[in-house]
C-alpha cells in the first residue's frame, strides 16, 4: 500500500499533467513545496514501485497503477471536503487542509458510506469533479476565467481550493460554482471586471484569482440539476 507521501506525489502529478506530456520535476516541487532533489528521490521510489515512469530532463508520468492510486486519493479528498462542508458545517475555505490530512487514512468502507450519505455526488464544494467509485478519469477541461474575453458571459464551474484567502474573497463577493458572470472589462495590466448575474455591483479580480477560476460558456453550461450537485 502506497505511503501518504507517495499518494501526495501521485495526486500532484495527476493534477499537473497536460495531455501525454511528462510533468516537470520543478512543477511537482512547486506544487508540493519541496526541493527538486527531493522530488527526484521520491519519484525514483515511485518508479521502482511501478507507479510512475521517469524521463531524464523531461519529467514524470504515471503508470496505469499509479493513476488509479491518484484517482482514489482525489476521490477521498473531494468526498471529505464535501462531507466537511455539508455535514459538519465547515466553510469551503477551510476544508482543503483538513481533507489533505484525512484522505490517506479512510477505509474503502468509510469511503462508500461517505459517498452514500452525500447522495453519490459528482462534484466537491469547489466544483471539482469527484472520480467515480470505479475510478474513471474525470473530465476537467474547462477554461480559466483568465482565458476569456471582454463581453463574454460564463458560468463558474470550479474554483481551485488551495488558497483559503481567494475562496473567502470569492464567497464574500457571492461568486461560487454556478454563478453567472458577465466580463465587462479587462484592463491592460490584467485586472478583470465582472458582473455577477445576481448582484448589483461589478467586481474587479486580479490575475491570481482569474487563473484559479474555471468557467464554461453559458450555452454549454451544465443544467441546474447538475450544478446543484456542486454544493
Looking at the chain, the number of H-run helices and the number of E-run strands are 9, 8
| Average pLDDT value for the chain | 91
pLDDT value at position 98? 95
pLDDT class for 230, splitting at 50, 70, 90? very low
Q: What does the buried/exposed string (b/e) look like for 116-139 if buried means 16 or more CB atoms within 10 Å of the residue's CB?
A: eebeebebbbbbbbbbeeeeeebe
Q: Distances from the Cα of 48 to the Cαs of 18, 44, 55, 73, 213, in angstroms?
A: 23, 6, 14, 20, 36
DSSP 120-132: S-SB-TTSPBPPP
Residue 196, H or E segment = strand 192-196
- Sort 191 into a burial class: Cβ within 10 Å, 0-12 / 13-18 / 19+: middle
pLDDT value at position 140? 66
CA–CA separation, 160 and 8 (whole Å): 17
* Average of per-residue pLDDT across 20-42: 96
From the CB of residue 157, how many other CB atoms can be counted at a distance below 10 Å? 25
pLDDT in tens, 157-199: 999 998 999 999 999 988 999 999 999 999 988 799 999 987 6
Fold topology of 4-62: Arc Repressor Mutant, subunit A (1.10.10)
* Average of per-residue pLDDT across 53-72: 95
231 touches 159 (CB < 8 A)? no
From the CB of residue 18, how many other CB atoms can be counted at a distance below 10 Å? 8
**Paired residues of 59 in beta bridges:** 55
For cell 447538475, what's the residue? 226
| Domain residue ranges in the chain | 4-62, 143-227
Alpha helices in the chain (DSSP H): 4-16, 25-32, 36-48, 64-86, 95-102, 108-117, 164-172, 207-210, 224-227
Name the architecture of domain 143-227.
Roll (2.30)
* Average of per-residue pLDDT across 22-29: 96
pLDDT value at position 216? 93
Of all residues in the chain, what percent carry a pLDDT higher than 70? Answer: 93
159 touches 100 (CB < 8 A)? no
pLDDT value at position 228? 36
Amino acid at each position: 500500500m502506497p505511503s501518504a507521501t507517495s499518494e501526495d506525489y501521485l495526486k500532484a502529478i495527476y493534477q499537473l499533467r497536460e495531455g501525454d506530456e511528462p510533468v516537470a520535476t520543478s512543477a511537482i516541487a512547486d506544487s508540493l513545496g519541496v526541493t527538486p532533489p527531493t522530488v527526484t528521490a521520491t519519484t525514483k521510489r515511485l518508479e521502482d514501485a511501478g507507479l510512475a515512469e521517469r524521463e531524464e530532463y523531461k519529467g514524470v508520468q504515471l503508470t496505469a497503477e499509479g493513476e488509479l492510486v491518484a484517482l482514489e486519493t482525489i476521490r477521498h479528498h473531494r468526498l471529505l471536503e464535501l462531507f466537511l462542508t455539508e455535514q459538519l458545517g465547515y466553510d469551503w475555505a477551510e476544508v482543503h487542509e483538513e481533507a489533505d490530512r484525512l484522505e490517506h487514512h479512510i477505509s474503502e468502507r468509510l469511503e462508500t458510506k461517505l459517498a452514500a450519505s452525500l447522495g453519490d455526488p459528482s462534484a466537491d464544494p469547489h466544483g471539482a469533479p469527484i472520480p467515480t467509485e470505479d475510478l474513471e478519469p474525470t473530465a476537467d477541461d474547462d477554461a480559466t476565467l483568465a482565458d476569456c474575453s471582454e463581453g463574454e458571459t460564463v458560468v463558474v464551474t470550479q474554483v481551485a481550493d488551495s488558497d483559503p484567502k481567494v475562496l473567502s474573497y470569492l464567497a464574500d463577493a457571492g461568486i461560487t460554482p454556478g454563478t453567472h458572470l458577465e466580463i465587462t472589462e479587462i484592463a491592460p495590466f490584467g485586472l478583470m471586471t465582472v458582473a455577477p448575474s445576481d448582484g448589483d455591483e461589478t467586481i474587479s479580480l486580479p490575475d491570481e484569482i482569474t487563473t484559479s477560476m474555471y468557467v464554461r460558456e453559458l450555452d454549454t453550461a451544465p443544467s441546474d440539476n447538475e450544478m446543484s450537485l456542486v454544493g
